[in-house]
Amino acid sequence: MNLYDDLLARLKGARDEAEKAWITLEFNLSGQTESIRNAVWAASVPHWFDRRFLNALLDEPLDEEECQALTGLPYIEAFEGRGWNVHERSRELLRARLWDRDRARYLLLSRRAADYCGGRGQREVFWRAETLYHRLITQEEGAAEEFIGQGIQWHNGFQYVALEALIRPVLAAVRAGRIEGVTAAWALYLQARLDIGYSRNLAARSSLEQALAFVPDGGDQALRANCIKALGDVHGSLSENAEARGRYEEALPIYREIGGRLGEANASRPWATLPGKEETSLQRWTDWRRRHGTIGSWVWRKASPVATTRWVISLRSTTAVPRALPPTTRRSLFSRARFITPIVASPIYIWGITQPRPGIWTWRRGCSRITPTSHSTGDV
């Protein structure tokens, strides 16, 4: 039996399309020189490569002729502006094989990729995202905290394209079982925040439920509370008011236990204004006013000077004052609000917080938020 007959026999006996794809890829690799085979395995670890990047991963660098042979393979494609990459499906087949059969080599290649990318311009989103990805794969000390902090910074700075570039490869590694635990939970939570911003509520709900499964009992309680509160927001957007109320009531005790006053306020306001019987809605709102009347002064006192100026307008369009209040009372509350001008890239005028002293913190249009000084104490 010649090589091609053997190939056809193996393809006929394959159990699924993934196995057929691997048989075909393995057959092609078997016809390459050892240096090209090693280069293909190494090139599958990062998301793109050029000759310098690839040679930083290899024990024996490729010369120009070998590099041309590599880039001429059918599963190597051009990556605009950065060089080349292994085709996505082939790349995942190679990664899965290498992870299962030679994990030490996989981690070595990923560590070298992290070192190379870390030495490049970290102000560029793609270098920053790739560096953090490989640091997470190799479980470097402090990598998870750095990933979480970068994700929060880009989310709160409305850099959604950058945030998606950071999250997407991490979520692929989560699905493949190469990243787990609190890092996986935060990646899913940040993805859910993106989905909520784009009104992809069903996708957000799925991500949040998966995130909660990664948070063990006694784990990151701030993250657990944030996920539960965000699920309440999703249920509210879907007009599932009973489910939303239940989620907010589940999140509130956790925020109180960990001292997350900003998170507690963010969960209390929508809980207090969910549609329902007028007397019930009014009672909830009155309770919220009594509990959080001083939150405005707390924000101005506790937040950093930079954060204090970074007020943003939420995409949600809700009001903090239930319709159960008499019209004259509502008008009085609105008249107490004042305009503020945040210092941001472009001047934005928001109808902002009422007087920053004990009183009522309410909004006329949307929900103004301030960036918390720590991701552990409040809703991102």
Instruction: Note the pLDDT tens digit of each residue in 230-248.
Output: 999 999 999 898 899 899 9
> Is residue 377 domain-resident?
no
Task: Give dist(CA 150, CA 187) in Å, integer.
Answer: 11
CA distances from 160 to 60, 165, 197 (A): 39, 9, 9
> Is residue 67 domain-resident?
yes
> Is residue 20 domain-resident?
yes
> Is residue 345 domain-resident?
no
Beta bridge partners of 76: 86
> Is residue 10 domain-resident?
yes
Task: Give dist(CA 277, CA 224) in Å, integer.
Answer: 30
Question: How confident is the model at residue 288, as a pLDDT?
Answer: 53
Q: How does 270-297 read in b/e, with b if 16+ C-beta sit within 10 Å?
A: bbbbbebeeeebbebbeebbeebeebbb
Smallest CA-to-CA distance from 192 within 244, 157, 156, 231 is with 231
CB-based contact 268:248 (threshold 8 Å): yes
> Is residue 270 domain-resident?
no
Q: Which residues of the chain have pLDDT under 50?
A: 277-279, 281, 292, 294-325, 330-377
Question: How confident is the model at residue 311, as a pLDDT?
Answer: 29
Task: Give dist(CA 290, CA 74) in Å, integer.
Answer: 67
Question: How confident is the model at residue 378, as a pLDDT?
Answer: 54
Total structural domains within the chain: 1
CB-based contact 350:368 (threshold 8 Å): yes
Each residue of 275-314: pLDDT tens digit?
654 445 455 555 655 554 544 444 434 444 333 333 222 2
Question: How confident is the model at residue 205, as a pLDDT?
Answer: 95
> Is residue 92 domain-resident?
yes
CB-based contact 37:94 (threshold 8 Å): no
Question: How confident is the model at residue 122, as a pLDDT?
Answer: 82
SS (H, E, C) the chain: CCHHHHHHHHHHCCCCHHHHHHHHHHHHHHCCCHHHHHHHHHHCCCCCECHHHHHHHCCCCCCHHHHHHHHCCCCEEEECCCEEEECHHHHHHHHHHHHHHCHHHHHHHHHHHHHHHHCCCCCCHHHHHHHHHHHHHCCCCCHHHHHHHHHHHHHHCCCHHHHHHHHHHHHHHHHCCCCCHHHHHHHHHHHHHHHHHCCCHHHHHHHHHHHHHHCCCCCCHHHHHHHHHHHHHHHHHCCCHHHHHHHHHHHHHHHHHHCCHHHHHHHHHHHHCCCCCHHHHHHHHHHHHHHHCCHHHHHHHHCCHHHHCCCEECCCCCCCCCCCCCHHHHHHHHHCCCEECCCCCCCCCEECCCCCCCCCCCCCCCCEECCCCCCCCCCC
Task: Give dist(CA 318, CA 270) in Å, integer.
Answer: 9
pTM of the predicted model as reported, rounded to 2 decimal places: 0.74
Host domain of residue 52: 1-101
Question: How confident is the model at residue 379, as a pLDDT?
Answer: 62
Each residue of 68-112: pLDDT tens digit?
999 999 999 999 989 999 999 999 999 999 999 999 999 999 999
Task: Give dist(CA 294, CA 311) in Å, integer.
Answer: 18
Sequence-distant (6+) residues with CB within 8 A of 67 are 51, 54
Question: How confident is the model at residue 370, as a pLDDT?
Answer: 33
> Is residue 199 domain-resident?
no
Question: How confident is the model at residue 265, as a pLDDT?
Answer: 80
- Report percent pLDDT > 90 for the chain: 52
